[in-house]
């Protein structure tokens, strides 16, 4: 199993969601609001950064089978791309285990 974590522009969420839902075996996702900044700022700007200068982002998390991960990443990147600075990033990591609280199902069955 893999977890896909993406930070995207908030205005791209509907487009990304539609594209992901159209893929076969889409398992669902969790979406949260986030704020942050990347390293495009100079060192001086980073030191003097105020909390209200952080950029709004949308964080998407998807846990999926190993086989489905690459397709979902490609779909997400294609849908979130504007070509402008700040489009975001996607991280893919291994998931050691998963448990569905309601039923006690584990790992792939929990998805």
Distance CA 93, CA 89 (A): 13
pLDDT of 111: 85
The 3 state secondary structure assigned to 1-61 is CEEEEEEECHHHHHHHHHHHHCCCCCCCCEEEEEEECCCCCCHHHHHCCCHHHCEEEEEEE
pLDDT of 70: 97
User: Which domains occur in the chain, in start order?
Assistant: 2-110 (3.30.70.120)
Q: Averaging pLDDT over each range in 12-21, 38-47, 99-108, which range is the top one?
A: 12-21
pLDDT of 66: 95
What predicted TM-score, i.e. pTM, was given to this entire model?
A: 0.85
For 51-108, how does the pLDDT look when each residue is reduced to its tens digit (9 = 90+)? 567 889 999 999 999 999 999 999 999 999 998 888 999 999 999 999 999 999 999 8
Distance CA 24, CA 93 (A): 21
């Amino acid at each position: 199993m893999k977890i896909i974590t993406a930070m995207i522009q908030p205005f791209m969420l509907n487009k990304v969601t539609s594209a992901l839902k159209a893929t076969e075996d889409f398992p669902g996702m969790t979406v949260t609001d986030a704020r942050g900044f990347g390293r495009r700022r100079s060192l001086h700007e980073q030191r003097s950064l105020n909390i209200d200068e952080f950029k709004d982002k949308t964080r998407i998390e998807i846990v999926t089978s190993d086989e489905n991960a690459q397709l979902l990443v490609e779909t997400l990147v294609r849908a979130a791309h504007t070509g402008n600075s700040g489009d975001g990033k996607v991280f893919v990591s291994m998931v050691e285990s998963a448990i569905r609280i309601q039923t006690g199902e584990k790992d792939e069955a929990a998805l």
